[in-house]
């Protein structure tokens, strides 16, 4: 992938392969209160509107960003960085790089929801130019509120 920075030269960046779908479900279970179940990851993976951009260290997925294009919006499914690979700029990288493919699929902006308690994600998004546009409370299954976040591509 031509936008891969030099500092990631020992990692590979690719769209998700079917044999790696299980790794996405495993990371979801590892980090989320309300993870996408394996069957749901498979359904999303098979949808022509969905893409998962992944970064791998050898065969291990160390970061991913999944999104689903719905008209002019690419809705964020999730982005995760493996706990052992955080603070290397990987989330910033996948979220930025994925705009290229989302735009090719017709989207004009990313839109997503971030838990009130998820300060790390809010910091990442702020650093790469996403904006908080609204609040919905409650939003998540456990009653927690969400910041609605967006990144317009141009
Ligand atoms: C949020 C998450 C994706 C960040 O991944 P990451 O690869 O470590 O993020 P980056 O390295 O790109 O961080 C970029 C910047 O964001 C900010 N940041 C990231 N994590 C932070 C934290 N825990 N606390 C404060 N600031 C943070 C920093 O400014 C950081 O730059 P710096 O390391 O030079 O200071 C990761 O913590 C994660 O997977 N969390 C669990 C899953 C999740 O909540 N996903 C988002 C909701 S879908």
- Indicate which CATH number applies to the domain containing 15: 3.40.630.30
Ligand 1 pocket member 31 (CB < 6 A) = yes
At 59 the three-state DSSP class reads coil
26-68 per-position pLDDT tens digit: 999 999 999 999 999 999 999 999 999 999 999 999 999 999 9
Structurally, how many domains does the chain consist of?
1
Output the residue whose Cα is nearest ligand 1's atom 23.
120
Q: Within a domain: residue 68?
A: yes
Query: Phi/psi of residue 124, each to 5°?
Result: -60, -50
Locate the ligand 1 atom nearest the alpha carbon of residue 114 and give its number: 47
What would the mean pLDDT of 121-142 be, rounded to a whole number? 98
What number does the ligand 1 atom closest to the CA of 93 have?
12
pTM listed for this prediction: 0.96
* Residue 56 maps to a domain: yes
Round the average pLDDT of the chain to a whole number and report it.
96
Place of tokens 């706990």: 83
Tell me 107's DSSP state.
-
SS3 60: strand
In a domain, 152, yes or no: no
53 CB within 6 A, ligand 1: no
Tokens of 153: 């591509």
Pocket probe for ligand 1: among 44, 87, 93, the residue whose CB has the most ligand atoms within 8 Å is 87
61 lines ligand 1 (CB under 6 A): no
Is there a domain that residue 117 lies in?
A: no
64 within a domain of the structure (yes/no) = yes
- Residue 153, in any domain of the structure: no
- Atom 21 of ligand 1, nearest CA residue: 120
In a domain, 20, yes or no: yes
Q: Give the residue from 128, 142, 141 showing the smallest Cα distance to 150.
A: 128
**104 Cβ partners below 8 Å, 6+ apart?**
none
Given a cut of 90, whether residue 5 has pLDDT beyond it is no
Residue 121 lies in a domain: no
Q: For residue 48, what are its two tokens? A: 């022509």
Domain that holds residue 88: 6-108
Atom of ligand 1 nearest to the CA of 92: 12
């Amino acid at each position: 992938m031509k936008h891969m920075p030099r500092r990631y030269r020992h990692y590979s960046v690719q769209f998700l392969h079917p044999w790696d779908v299980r790794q996405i479900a495993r990371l979801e279970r590892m980090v989320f209160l309300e993870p996408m179940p394996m069957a749901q990851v498979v359904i999303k993976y098979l949808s022509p509107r969905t893409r998962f951009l992944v970064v791998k260290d050898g065969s291990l997925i160390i970061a991913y960003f999944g999104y689903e294009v719905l008209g002019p919006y690419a809705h964020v499914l999730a982005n995760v960085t493996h706990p052992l690979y955080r603070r290397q700029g990987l989330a910033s990288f996948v979220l930025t790089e994925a705009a290229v493919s989302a735009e090719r699929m017709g989207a004009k902006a990313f839109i997503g929801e971030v838990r009130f308690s998820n300060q790390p994600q809010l910091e990442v998004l702020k650093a790469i130019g996403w904006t908080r546009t609204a609040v919905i409370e409650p939003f998540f299954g456990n009653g927690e509120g969400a910041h609605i976040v967006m990144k317009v591509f141009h």
